[in-house]
Amino acid sequence: MLEERLRHQIRYFQSKEHIEEIGTVTYIGDGIARAVGLENVMVSEMVEFANGSIGMVQNLESNDVGIIVFGEYVNIHEGDLVRRLGRIMEVPVGKELLGRVVDPLGRPLDGLGELGARKTRPVEAEAPGIMDRQSVKQPLQTGIKAIDALVPIGRGQRELIIGDRKTGKTTLAIDTILNQKGKDVICIYVAIGQKESTVKNIVSTLERYGALEYSVVVTASASHPAPLLYLAPYAATAIGEEFMYEGKHVLVVYDDLSKQAAAYREMSLLLRRPPGREAYPGDVFYLHSRLLERSAKLSEELGGGSLTSLPIVETQAGDISAYIPTNVISITDGQIFLESDLFFSGVRPAINAGLSVSRVGGSAQLKPMKQVSGTLRIDLASFRELEAFTQFGSDLDAATQQKLNRGRRTIEVLKQRLHKTLDVEKQIVVLYALTHGFLDSIPIESVSDYEDGLYEFLETHYDVVLHDIVRHQALPEEELMDNILEEYTSQFRPASNAAAKMEF
C-alpha cells in the first residue's frame, strides 16, 4: 500500500520551483545603474531593485546592462541584487484613470486612493500602419477663432504649438481641452518638467470648468528624475491608445517635448552614449517620431477611433530653425507659431498667421467655416504688408484705407479672452459679419462689445439658425444672414467710453 502511494506521488510529482535571473549592481548614480548577470534581459524590460524601485533596461552591452531607475536610487548600493520582471515597461490603462492625476508609472498623485485599473499596456507600441488608418477629415474644434478659422485641427492630426516661453502655449492647449466638454473626446494632459505649482493650477482650472471628469493628467515635474520625464509622453500615449482602440476619440497634449529631449540627453550622456549635435544623442529624432507617429485616425474596421496630438515645443528668441523645433516640425502635420511681439502688444492668442500652417487644411473644417474663412489668411497677410508700407506715408487712397480698416477689425475679432472658448456656429456668424463688411462701421474699440452682444442676440432671437448651421453643415441663405446682421447692427450702440476689455 505504501509502495503504491509512493509510486503514485513520484509519477504525478510536479516541481513548483520558480527560476529567476538575478543580476548584481556594479554602479549606481544620477538615476543610472549598471548590472552584470542579466544575460537574457530585453531592451525596455522592467527590473526590480532590492529597495523595491523599478528600473528599465536601456543599454545592452558586452559586459553589462545600463538601467534607468524610476524610483529612489539613494539607498541602492553596489553589490545589491536586481531581478528581471520578465515583461516590457507597462502602465495601467482604462476608464479608471479619468479624472485622476498620475505619474508616468501610473501611481496616483491626487490623494484619491488607488486607481483600481485592471489592465496594462506597454508604454512603447508600434504605430498603426498605412492600411490601419484613414484620412483626417473630422474637425476637432478648439473653440479658438484664430485656430478653427486659420489652422484647423482634425481628429487624428498632430499639430505643433511652438513659441517662446510665456507666449500662451499652455493656455491654448488647456482651452482646447475645455472646449471638448460634451463633444465625446477624452483628453490627456502630460506635464513634462513643469513646476508642481503650475500643474496644480492647471488641475484646478480643469476642475473648475468641469473638464477633469473626461481628462487624465500625467505629470513628471521638475523635481522628478530625468528617466520619468523621458517616460511621461510614452505612458500618456499608451493610456490614450487604450481608448482609441475602443473606438473613442482622444486628445493628448505634450507640454513640452523640449524638456523631454533635454531629459533624454541627460540620460543618454550618463549611459555613455555618444553625443551628437548640441550634445543630443543621434536618435533624438526617433525619440519624437516614434511617439507622434502613434497618433492616427483608425480605419472603420478597427473601430474608427482617433488620437490627436498637440505637442508643445519652446523656442529661444523665436528661433524655429533650432535642432529640436525643426525635428518636431518635420514630424507633425502643421504648427501654430506664437509670437512674443504679438503677445506683448495685446494680440492674444498671439498666433502668427504667416508662419502657422495646418497640412490637413480645409479637410478638417466644416463647410460653412471654410466659406467664411477662405480669404482670411490672405487678407491678414496683405494687411500686415500694407501696415508696414503705410508707416512711411500718410496719403492713402480709399481702397488701401478700406483694407487697413478691415485688417484692424480682423485682428480685433480674432482676439479671445482667457478660457472663453466659442462654439463653431458663433465663430461662423461673426466671421461672416466681418468678411461681409458689417463690422466696417463699428469703432475698433467697440468690436469686442459688438461680438458679445451679437452672440446674446442670436441666442435670444435666432437660436434655431445657430443649430441649423451645425446640423446641416451649411450656411443659411445669404439674404437671411444679411437681414439678421443688419437688424442687430442697426440696434447696436457703441459705449461712449468703450475700451477693449481683454482679460488675461
| Other residues' Cβ atoms within 10 Å of the Cβ of residue 422 | 20
Residue type, 58: Q
Check whether residue 180 and residue 287 sit in a common domain.
yes
Q: Would you say 313 and 258 are in contact if contact means Cβ atoms under 8 Å apart? A: yes
Does residue 7 fall inside a structural domain?
Answer: no
CA end-to-end span of the chain, whole Å? 90
Check whether residue 301 and residue 337 sit in a common domain.
yes
Q: What's residue 15's pLDDT?
A: 66
Q: What's residue 363's pLDDT?
A: 87
Measure the CA–CA gap between 104 and 70, rounded to whole angstroms.
9
Angle between helix 447-461 and helix 478-491 axes, rounded to 10 deg = 120
Does residue 496 fall inside a structural domain?
Answer: no
Q: What's residue 21's pLDDT?
A: 86
Q: What's residue 266's pLDDT?
A: 96
Nearest one of 426, 456, 454, 450 to 498, comparing CA atoms: 450
Is 272 noted as a catalytic residue in this protein? no
Check whether residue 259 and residue 177 sit in a common domain.
yes
pLDDT in single tens digits along all 504 residues of the chain: 777 887 878 777 776 666 778 999 999 988 899 999 999 999 999 999 999 999 999 999 999 999 999 988 889 999 999 999 999 999 999 999 999 999 999 999 999 999 989 999 999 999 999 999 999 999 999 999 999 999 999 999 999 999 999 999 999 999 999 999 999 999 999 999 999 999 999 999 999 999 999 999 999 999 999 999 999 999 999 999 999 999 999 999 999 899 999 999 999 999 999 999 999 999 999 999 999 999 999 999 999 999 999 999 999 999 999 999 999 999 999 999 999 999 999 999 999 988 899 998 788 899 999 999 988 888 888 888 888 777 766 677 888 888 888 899 999 999 999 999 999 999 999 999 999 999 999 999 999 999 999 999 999 999 999 999 989 999 999 999 999 999 999 999 887 554 444 443
Which residue out of 83, 290, 359, 384 is catalytically annotated? 359
CATH number of the domain bearing residue 66? 2.40.30.20
Does residue 2 fall inside a structural domain?
Answer: no
Does residue 233 fall inside a structural domain?
Answer: yes
Q: Final residue of a domain: which of 34, 65, 87?
A: 87
Check whether residue 415 and residue 352 sit in a common domain.
no
Which helix (H) or strand (E) segment holds residue 92: the answer is strand 90-93
What's the pTM value of the predicted model, to 2 decimals?
A: 0.92
Does residue 498 fall inside a structural domain?
Answer: no
CATH number of the domain bearing residue 326? 3.40.50.300
CATH number of the domain bearing residue 394? 1.20.150.20
Check whether residue 334 and residue 407 sit in a common domain.
no
Does residue 10 fall inside a structural domain?
Answer: no
Check whether residue 48 and residue 111 sit in a common domain.
no
Q: CA distances (Å), 106 to each of 174, 287, 478, in order?
A: 22, 21, 53
Check whether residue 48 and residue 124 sit in a common domain.
no
CA-based diameter of the chain, in Å?
120
Q: Final residue of a domain: which of 53, 87, 121?
A: 87
Q: What's residue 504's pLDDT?
A: 34
Residue 84 pairs in a beta bridge with 47
Measure the CA–CA gap between 142 and 183, rounded to whole angstroms.
11
64 CB-side CA count, 13 A: 16
Grid cell 500686415 is found at: 384
Q: Would you say 328 and 311 are in contact if contact means Cβ atoms under 8 Å apart? A: yes
Check whether residue 82 and residue 96 sit in a common domain.
no
Angle ∠(98,99,102) on CA atoms, nearest 5: 85
Q: Final residue of a domain: which of 335, 365, 395?
A: 365
Nearest one of 90, 33, 40 to 67, comparing CA atoms: 33
Q: What's residue 503's pLDDT?
A: 41
Measure the CA–CA gap between 68 and 44, rounded to whole angstroms.
10
| Other residues' Cβ atoms within 10 Å of the Cβ of residue 165 | 11
Does residue 156 fall inside a structural domain?
Answer: yes
Check whether residue 277 and residue 377 sit in a common domain.
no
Check whether residue 244 and residue 327 sit in a common domain.
yes
Burial of residue 265, with CB atoms counted within 10 A of its CB: 0-12 exposed, 13-18 middle, 19 or more buried: buried
The domain of 105 spans 92-365
Does residue 211 fall inside a structural domain?
Answer: yes
Check whether residue 361 and residue 376 sit in a common domain.
no
Q: What's residue 393's pLDDT?
A: 61
Check whether residue 96 and residue 73 sit in a common domain.
no
Tally of domains within the chain: 3
Q: What's residue 78's pLDDT?
A: 95
Burial of residue 185, with CB atoms counted within 10 A of its CB: 0-12 exposed, 13-18 middle, 19 or more buried: buried
